[in-house]
Amino acid sequence: MYVGSGVWYRCRRYTNRRNQEYNMLMEEGKLQYKIVGEYEIEKDARKYEAELIKKYKQIQQASFN
């Protein structure tokens, strides 16, 4: 649904989201979160994030990116 990088708690904050549908799903508890990697170097994290976004967009599963 959404791929993103940031600190561990960021994915659960809906105050910084602009998409109303995504906000509603968060507030209703209908989303699951999965941390798939941890990186010491931000550049590495951003590269992996871009790869995942591309992968999931190709199979139409990154609808909020």
Q: Which of 24, 4, 5, 6 is nearest to 14 (CA)?
A: 24
50: its two tokens: 């871009």
pLDDT digits (tens, 9 = 90+) for 11-51: 666 565 567 887 788 888 888 888 888 888 989 999 999 99
Predicted confidence at residue 54, as pLDDT, reads: 92
pLDDT tier for residue 5 given thresholds of 50, 70 and 90: confident
| Entry pTM | 0.66
Using pLDDT thresholds of 50, 70 and 90, give the confidence band for residue 52: very high
Quick one: CA torsion of 4, 5, 9, 14, rounded to 10 degrees?
-30
